[in-house]
Structure 1
Amino acid sequence: MIKFFRKIRQRLLSENKFRKYLIYAIGEIILIVIGVLLAVAINDQISKSNERKLEKQLLINIRKELMSNIDQLKIAIKSHEEGSHAGTELLTTIRYNANNLEINNLDTLMFLMDFNWSYDPAIGSIKSTIESGGVNIIRSDSIREYILSFEDRVKDVNETTLGYRRLKHERLWPLIDKNISILNRWDHIYPKIGKSKHEQDYATLFKNQEFENVVGLLLIFREEGLIEERALLNYCIKIEELIGKQLGQAD
């Protein structure tokens, strides 16, 4: 093809047809430019097609991970709601029913308040997406923001959980261990350990103002944590629905 064009140029020059040669040369340049632009456009289209395929796979992985994390967060919230309810019942007993104590029920309430679920979501897909630079090909601003901020959001939520745990270890346990046994509180989870031989002295414990204060503080931590956890859950559900919608449009 190049030899063919070269022969035409040489023939026009040998025949001194400079005007025709000039027109032909301009036309040849235009054809070359069009060819280059067409090649660039094709390559760009192929590149975009490959990016969309990669984006779809990334979103599939992230959504699968997110759905699992949502389920785990729901479990954590349910557990913390039970703990909050147990703490409320204990305060009610301290205030109004201190003389009418059902030991088995109190052991259960103490266990539920004692139990503190740690939310530890999977973030493998998020991390690999960030580290590989895949986040840059995701078109949705909201999904990109989720990928980049999720780990920090979880840390913020868990700060309250860690505060609850510190308060429980440093102030609650030293108080209750003087009057009631941890063996009895956790007996229905670890029955092989067995119950304590000592009597449970809830009456003395409930007369202790510091115990009431600590239970109240734990309830405050718990309620603040639940507010943050529910907000995170709503956010995750919203992002999961957005990813599902985008994947549906891609099919």
Structure 2
Amino acid sequence: MIKFFRKIRQKLISEKKFSQYLLYAVGEIILVVIGILIALQINDYSEQKKERKKEQVLLSNLSKDVALDIQQIENNTMLSRERLKRLDSLIQLLKSPENLDEDRFVRQSYEFVFDQYFKSNSGIFDEAVSSGKMSFVQNESLRQDIFNYYRNAKETYTDGTTRQITDEFITPLLVEHVYLNQQGLKMLGLDLEDTAGLKNLDAKALSQNREYWKMVLLKFGGNQEQIIRWRAIKERAEELKQRLEEELKKQK
């Protein structure tokens, strides 16, 4: 092809057809420019195609992580509600303290120190932010929704407060009013009846103990507040997951 154009140029020069040669030269330059533009366009299309592929992988992985968040919240909510039901059944026994099985009551009261905590599965999002891959998400509105979701999901002040209440208030109150007796020592496998000089659990006194009921209120209030907070995160997660799936379908 190059030899062909060269022959045409040489022929025009030898025949001294300068005006035609000039037109030919201009035409040749235009063809070269068009060729370069076409090559750039093909290369740009190829790069865009690669970026869209990366975007689809990112959106798919984010959708999977959000699904894990939803599953975690559902599991946490179920476990917390079941625990509160068991504790409610336990404290109802104090209505008839004279018939209370102290050993069983002390043993089952240990559930007061257990809680569920939510931790967002944000590995894919965190890596995408640090590496700049979030720029692959073309849909500006969707990208903002992703950032808003994770910013909200990571604000675990409710879980943090619940953990603090359990560690600093519930556990000490539980030890003082439920475990600091002969049944509490037995539960730990300690035979210190003669050494410790502690009495058996007084169920009637416990049923009228304001500190004990303060502990109950803190436990139920904290866990119920967590459940409300998790429900709000779950609603956001479900909305985001739907948007991610819709964007994937649109691209495919």
Q: What range is the shorter-chain TM-score in?
A: 0.7 to 0.9
Give the corresponding residue for 1:188: none
Deviation at 1:102? Answer: 4.8
Cα deviations across residues 63-96 of structure 1 (Å, max 9, x unaligned)? 23332232111111223334555677788888xx
- Cα distance between partner residues in 1 of 2:101 and 2:130: 54
> 3-state SS of the aligned residue for 2:62?
helix
Give the corresponding residue for 1:164: 162
Structure 1 residues 133 and 100, CA gap change in structure 2 (3 angstroms):
farther
> 3-state SS of the aligned residue for 2:121?
coil
- Cα distance between partner residues in 1 of 2:70 and 2:229: 14
Unaligned runs of 5+ in 2: 194-198
- Cα distance between partner residues in 1 of 2:126 and 2:139: 18
Give the corresponding residue for 2:241: 240
Identity level (%): 29
**Which has the higher Rg, Structure 1 or Structure 2?**
2
Unaligned runs of 5+ in 1: 186-190
> Are the equivalent residues in 1 in contact too, given 2:173–2:215 (CA < 8 A)?
no
Structure number with the bigger relative contact order (C-alpha 8 A, sep ≥ 6) is 2
Over aligned residue pairs, what C-alpha RMSD do you find? 3.6
Give the corresponding residue for 2:28: 28
Q: Does residue 47 of the first structure (1) align with residue 47 of the second (2)? A: yes
Deviates more, 1:25-34 or 1:176-185: 176-185
Deviation at 1:103? Answer: 5.0
- Cα distance between partner residues in 2 of 1:184 and 1:69: 40
Amino acid at match of 1:159: Y
How many residue pairs align between the two structures?
A: 243
Give the corresponding residue for 2:153: 154
> 3-state SS of the aligned residue for 1:118?
coil
Cα deviations across residues 152-204 of structure 1 (Å, max 9, x unaligned)? 43331x2211211211221222222123239989xxxxx9x669987443432
- Cα distance between partner residues in 2 of 1:58 and 1:123: 12
- Cα distance between partner residues in 2 of 1:184 and 1:145: 56
Q: How does 1:11-26 map to 2 (within 5 A)?
A: 11-26=11-26
Cα deviations across residues 37-56 of structure 1 (Å, max 9, x unaligned)? 11111111111121222222
